[in-house]
Amino acid sequence: MSLENAYHDELGDYFARTVGTSPYNAFTDRPAMLDLAGDVAGLRLLDVGCGAGHYAADLLERGARVTGIDGSATLLRHARERVGDRAELRLHDLETPLDFAGDATFDAVVCALVHHHIAARGQLLAELHRVLRPGGFLVLSTTHPTADWRHHGGSYYDESWVDLTLPHPSLTIRYQRMTLETLLNEWLSAGFTLERLVEPRPLPTLREVDEARYEKLRQAPCFLAVRLRRPGGCAD
């Protein structure tokens, strides 16, 4: 993600340590996003905000050729430990153009729980549209607008930047609240078409691990995930 909001140092280590088993990441967001991605065998795939490499590892196992980018050197170190040299990993500030990639370089893009950390979202979406081949797809997840409204309170239409305290005495993450209207309009204005929208539910196996969070995530949405298409070419 952006250098400013990326998970550096202790925050990056904390994220890498917990994301593999987190009820929110491992049992809710990642299964939904991988389902949206579908069959990726043989595809040239860009993992935007690749973090500690959990998505990259799964996508490699499914046969994709993966390039991962992130603004955190800490997380990229963990990603390299996870996937070795099987993926190309780059340190990149997502607030800047994707100048390492030519037009129509990739068949697919995965952008998991990064969108809300980016200030220059219009630029990033335009760049993702550019580097995707015509007919290629983008799967993207972000915080659910109603989840942010419930947690932070105030007006649903408040789109301020907020800090979320993690289950750690000194760590927070910063991101922007957005309405569903804002999100959809940004995606469509960038030239994408919407193929699917899901509000991910937790895997049933989470009940055995953390029943309280399973019930919470089963009753109220935490994330929003979409599959978007760059028009043109041959759809998969």
Question: What φ, ψ does residue 88 adopt, rounded to 5°?
Answer: -90, 120
The full set of domain ranges for the chain reads: 9-162+175-229
Residue 106 burial (CB count, 10 A)? 22
What DSSP string runs through 8-44? -HHHHHHHHHHTTT-TTIIIIIHHHHHHHH---TT-E
Q: The dihedral of CA 69, 73, 77, 78: what is its sign?
A: negative
Cβ neighbours for 17, distance < 8 A, ≥ 6 positions apart: none
Across 195-204, b (16+ Cβ under 10 Å) vs e yields: eeebebbbbe
The helix/strand count (H/E) of the chain reads as 9, 9
pLDDT tens string for the chain (236 positions)?
544 556 766 787 887 888 899 999 999 999 999 999 999 999 999 999 999 999 999 999 999 999 999 999 999 999 999 999 999 999 999 999 999 999 999 999 999 999 999 999 999 999 999 999 999 999 999 999 999 999 999 999 999 999 988 877 788 889 999 999 999 999 999 999 999 999 999 999 999 999 999 999 999 999 999 999 999 976 54
What DSSP string runs through 70-120? ES-HHHHHHHHHHHTTSSEEEE--TTS--TTS-TT-EEEEEEES-GGG-S-
- pTM score of the predicted model: 0.94
Q: Which CATH class is domain 9-162+175-229?
A: alpha beta
Contact (CB, 8 A) for 71 and 1: yes
Contact (CB, 8 A) for 202 and 23: yes
Across 18-37, b (16+ Cβ under 10 Å) vs e yields: bbeebbbbbbbbbbbbbebb
3-state secondary structure of 157: coil
